[in-house]
A and B are shown apart, each in its own frame.
Chain A
């Protein structure tokens, strides 16, 4: 069973603060990791993906991957009310020929003005 675990939240942060979203996974064969943002009633949209240990930065977003600890996180700097959404962690693992995404349940983030 390949599992992706996320704290369902809600996670509340004040505007301008750093939001930290965490995800752990069970399958060491997992190769690529994706963060999707999903607004209520909308489809998931990709924020960024990471496949190498370390940090990857894109604007206000930083993804961090630690394969030894089977842990991936997303930091959102200078959080804005428009960042309020559910954040889905997903992975792809080698051995799945279809390269489908395996998702966590998502963490609901609320940025308070």
Chain B
């Protein structure tokens, strides 16, 4: 595709509900990142995939958060038993490879509101 696509754009979940957020990266991009952006804050790293391998999940805030990229393309971020503190914009980014000087392209994000 032309850019990184995320769906849904908006999600309202009742506390305790499970949610799944989808990211479709730019075709051919090896690296895929998930970030969480709270209101008024900068994005914070959650997890990183190189192709289908999840190489870094150090930013996941709890074991309720789970991410996968089974075929090395589309990725899903799943949040189980959502809590109010999970309310944020979830950003996906992809890049052609992993290096210090490689640009990451961001999707529009999914705004999750837990009520």
Residues in A lying within 8 Å of B, measured CB to CB: 4, 8, 31-32, 42-46, 49, 51, 88, 90, 92, 94, 96-106
| Chain A residues positioned under 8 Å from B91 (CB to CB) | 43-44
A44–B103 Cα distance when bound, in Å, is: 12
A43–B108 Cα distance when bound, in Å, is: 5
Q: Is the CB of A98 within 8 A of B48?
A: yes
| Chain A residues positioned under 8 Å from B62 (CB to CB) | none
Task: Please provide the chain B residues from 52 to 97 with a CB less than 8 Å away from any CB of chain A in the complex.
Answer: 55-56, 59, 91, 93
Q: Beyond A44-B106, A101-B43, is A51–B48 a contact (Cβ under 8 Å)?
A: no
| Chain B residues positioned under 8 Å from A94 (CB to CB) | 100
Shortest CB-to-CB span from B47 to chain A, Å, is 8
* Choice from B40, B50, B109 contacting A105 with Cβ under 8 Å: B40
| Chain A residues positioned under 8 Å from B104 (CB to CB) | 46, 101
| Chain B residues positioned under 8 Å from A4 (CB to CB) | 42
> Which of A8, A99, A104 is packed against the most chain B CB atoms within 10 Å?
A99
A91–B81 Cα distance when bound, in Å, is: 32
Which bracket fits the contact residues of B? 20 to 34
| Chain B residues positioned under 8 Å from A43 (CB to CB) | 91, 106-109
- Given A44-B43, A98-B98, 14 other A-B residues pairs in contact with their CB atoms under 8 A: A43-B107, A44-B91, A44-B106, A88-B42, A88-B43, A92-B100, A97-B55, A99-B98, A99-B99, A100-B48, A101-B33, A101-B45, A103-B43, A105-B41
> Which of A4, A94, A103, A104 is packed against the most chain B CB atoms within 10 Å?
A103
Shortest CB-to-CB span from B10 to chain A, Å, is 11
| Chain B residues positioned under 8 Å from A88 (CB to CB) | 42-43
| Chain B residues positioned under 8 Å from A45 (CB to CB) | 106
Give the residue name and chain of the B residue nearest to A101 (CB): B104
| Chain A residues positioned under 8 Å from B101 (CB to CB) | 32, 49, 51
B44 interface residue per 8 A CB criterion: yes
* Choice from A32, A98, A103 contacting B56 with Cβ under 8 Å: A98
Give the residue name and chain of the A residue nearest to B92 (CB): A43
> Which of A42, A43, A49, A90 is packed against the most chain B CB atoms within 10 Å?
A43
